[in-house]
């Protein structure tokens, strides 16, 4: 996300959109975790719990980015909040991957989970100009993992469950494109309109 040092229409719209995203993300996470808690046969690696943790991490990511870009927009606090946002997102992905890799029939040997932990550690110690490349690497790993998960999930389902998986796939792809669309590069190099569409 770009740094907003002063008030303006784009800043205000983006701030409202971000906290709208936070509200609905918390809502969906609460529903998923609530269903998991009420299930008498719940397991720690249940995919509902994994999705709930993932959405909670994305919520923390959005909050941290908003605080860093709207309120603490000077180093070192800005960098601290941005790093916190990246780490929250990646650790949420690690939790999701850990559950996902137990379900997938492919011999991943927890490569997705391990790569997430390594990238999170690198973000903590890396200078700020390298964080974007690490986040991009994690985005590509995420896309690969999610594609494998949805291909596997869709193959063994029919009817309403398959339609739900299709909707989740579309929603996730839209979310990833939106996440990439609200990057600093888009705001400064392409246009504010594309950035707003991503937000």
3-class SS string, the chain:
CCCCCCCCHHHHHHHHHHHHHHHHHHHHHHHHHHHHHHCCCCCCCCHHHHHHHHHHHHHHHHHHHHHHHHHCCCCCHHHHHHHHHHHHHHHHHHHHHHHHHHHCCCCCCCHHHHHHHHHHHHHHHCCHHHHHHHHHHHHHHHHHHHHHHHHHHHHCCCHHHHHHHHHHHHHHHHHHHHHHHCCHHHHHHHCHHHHHHHC
pLDDT confidence of residue 118: 93
**Cα 159 vs. chain centroid, distance in angstroms?**
28
pLDDT confidence of residue 17: 79
Tokens of 44: 């720690």
pLDDT confidence of residue 156: 63
pTM score, whole prediction: 0.76
The Cα–Cα gap between 127 and 186 comes to: 21
Q: Nearest CA to 135 among 42, 50, 64?
A: 64
What pLDDT tens digit does each residue of the chain (199 aa) get? 555 555 667 777 777 877 888 888 889 889 888 888 888 887 776 777 878 888 888 889 888 888 887 788 777 888 898 899 889 988 888 887 887 777 777 788 888 889 999 999 999 998 888 887 888 888 888 878 877 877 777 666 666 666 766 777 777 777 777 766 666 655 555 656 556 665 5
């Amino acid at each position: 996300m770009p740094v907003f040092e002063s008030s303006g229409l784009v800043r205000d719209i983006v701030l409202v959109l971000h906290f709208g995203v936070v509200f609905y993300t918390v809502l969906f996470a609460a529903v998923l975790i609530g269903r998991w808690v009420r299930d008498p046969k719940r397991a720690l690696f249940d995919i509902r719990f994994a999705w709930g943790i993932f959405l909670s991490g994305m919520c923390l990511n959005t909050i941290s980015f908003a605080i860093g870009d709207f309120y603490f927009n000077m180093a070192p606090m800005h960098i601290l909040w941005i790093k916190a946002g990246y780490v929250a997102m990646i650790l949420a992905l690690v939790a999701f991957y850990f559950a996902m890799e137990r379900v997938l029939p492919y011999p991943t040997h927890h490569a997705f989970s391990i790569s997430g932990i390594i990238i999170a550690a690198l973000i903590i110690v890396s200078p700020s100009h390298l964080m974007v490349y690490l986040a991009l690497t994690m985005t590509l790993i995420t896309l690969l993992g999610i594609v494998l998960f949805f291909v596997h999930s869709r193959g063994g389902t029919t009817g309403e469950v398959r339609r739900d998986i299709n909707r989740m796939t579309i929603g996730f792809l839209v979310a990833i494109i939106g996440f990439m669309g609200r990057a600093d590069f888009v705001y400064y190099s392409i246009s504010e309109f594309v950035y707003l569409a991503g937000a």
